[in-house]
Structure 1
């Protein structure tokens, strides 16, 4: 007994007081916070179709707001006197995934995004876009329509900091008072229907709206008397029919872009599976006996040794230096390996801050070495890659972009730009992979910089950044897919043409079989006359019974396309007049 007394509590716990001793039990909180999403109507609590807003940033659907204002004449949230002039329409923007987003920053709206709208235009943006591009820049024009506005026209729709106070459904006036706006809307539409029908009939349990009243009106115009049950049944059938028609229409209205997108995804998947299958089967198959032993081990080829990716497009970028900008075109179709290396290093920021360490006037300017010594730098694959020479690329103009190397197949990250038109001694020694297409005056400024004895510029020439305008290697799958579609289209057209030609040839054969001999048959079986005026003896081959049988045989069925074309040409020649080939018109 003594031991148990030491563990006895000298107080009653909350649970004991609530359950065992009849203490106070917690009930439901009256003002429990229930946030309303920004894309929902503050009246119907449903998704917005025709959004309207007021200066407080409360959103309503036009279909529900008009009957409420007409009946009560007050704002549903604040209970202040209001008219429809106090509200204005707003416009949300959506992305490809049908999500609400900021049309300027392309950021998707969430429940924790600061969202604002411009009262004069109704366009909806994120606060970050308006703050940076309007408020801080003091640019008081709409970002989409360029329509002017004031700072007071910026209305907050959703503020994550004040979300609990603004979007609390339980604090709305019509919720507290229990105002039934749906009945008011139904009653107005019902009275209008009754006035149009000149009677006081009720539509039964059917919720009246614009669609139902229009359907009842159509049925009555057709002279169909409807009772309440018949009305409900007819309305239900018609609505189901309309829904099915809309679904079928949506299926048919699948755009060509969507079909193309599905086919492209399938093409990428098939291509990936083929590449994986090639890798799996590249290793030598295991042998059943020990004679299959080989000392060589299969090793995957290093990326620097593989051939470049094939593309038919050019690449474009801008090389920004402290002396000016150079616009460069890359020959991705003729030197894909060098172009891929240069573009990949540029995207990673490898050349940012790198100087041109060598300058020889009337020859070239060299850079691309992060160490600035002329002996550093490496390719994007961490190993040197092979030279690429094309007969279409010659050292015959100024401003060529070429790879610098220390020997055959030792290309890394260093490059040079030519400052002279004729440098034929560099042919098949350095890869040409681009040329300067804009900013040649900047190149001239670089050439005029003085150098020391080791050809190092006295004034620093530095690459600040490289802006890539077009990288064809990023869209290589799309290019291959487009090429495949063109090839398939060409093959289908060719197949259709040959099928049509075969049908025409077959029709000509049937006509020659069942009808009188045509000029076509005469051309197929030409006589052995000498010219036109000296006929030979005709009894040589037809004197025997075998010759007669051969002459009685029908024309051959396997008439080829070549024979048909020859016949047409011969027929055209026979119609020509005034030539020395035929003495009939002499």
Structure 2
């Protein structure tokens, strides 16, 4: 951490002098490790492993084509000592279900820090801890897989994390003489050595990437090859920070341009939603009309609407009915057990809590979960205020029509597991007002007009699209029970006027002041 170097540091480490341990430091800097599952000759993963008495592993096919080493000179290509083909021992590596090399006794996967040994009599490969516990300490000198007898001298160390000299590529004889035996136009062994040295890091990075891809699939709103117009439209007000990082850190490549971070399409849409959604839950006992708080709880409402439109809730049972403690009706699980269900994006999504949206009344629509941030497809409807559920379950809607149907469902008796004795089934969920689809259509039209304006050279063109709306008569027909005549007051008093807060009604101008 000091801002200067001493004379010995300059002469030994930086001046290239041959005294003061500079050669030893240079030797350490040149260390390159061969992975345990690679052939010491080809420096690539082996398929038919064999080894010497020293624990140097080769691929049998590579040994037969070793050129001037074993075939012509009969020497070990790693140490340069005399060696015969008959001295090689065939190795039996064991793999798990994922195709990874592991110890058949401890079942631990081999890695660069595993002490690996082989029994010379059988060629079976184990972890050192298994041999130490079950053979050496127990004085049971028989192979753990085949029960064949062997001695301590038959144990061959293939990898010792505390002694890596035999796996140092810089000391391999054929690597040092790579230029002598290299074929024209082919990679030299020194180049292959560099590839093998980087392989372990590359494998670890690839494995991490694979796990991330398994666990997290891309969201529906992810950008897929956006063009220049989309990049400009979805660009945020803050940059990636690469230009600043490259200026202050020598570990990063220089960056001369500042790129803005692109917003996710869904999250950009969620911030722009200002209206509510409306849907109808059709059951075998009647219809429940619900209002969705899309303007405040956008992601949860979007998930519910997408599942409803895809038919996910069709013929799904309400599997739980609690009249006293939680006082709720729970459904949304296609399995009918309460342990199934998944979101539209095939993964759980986080909670969304608002202090003005709580379980304070009858008919609140809320998400069921298994803990924090585990929302999927299950939801419940409250029969009475449930303050103990606040900030634990996401409130995303309320029942605005069909409360007599909710009364009928509440009176159904239940068994000891809180399952209704009479079947309560969701026939379908119809979505009447979907702010998300309307916004996506407006955004698509706007982007298309921006593209056209860009082609015409008018870069300052401003595009606006009218908001979609439903008329008062359309909403009344949509939410009213089908068995009530059109002229009956119930079509308006019980249902239609409970939707007054929707802005489209105010724009229509068909709601008189006395009715408001």
TM > 0.5 fold call = no
Higher relative contact order, structure no. (Cα contacts within 8 Å, ≥ 6 residues apart): 2
Q: Which has the higher helix share?
A: 1
Report the TM-score range of the alignment, normalised by the length of the smaller protein: 0.3 to 0.5
The TM-score, its normalising length taken from structure 2, stands at: 0.37
Which one has the largest radius of gyration?
1
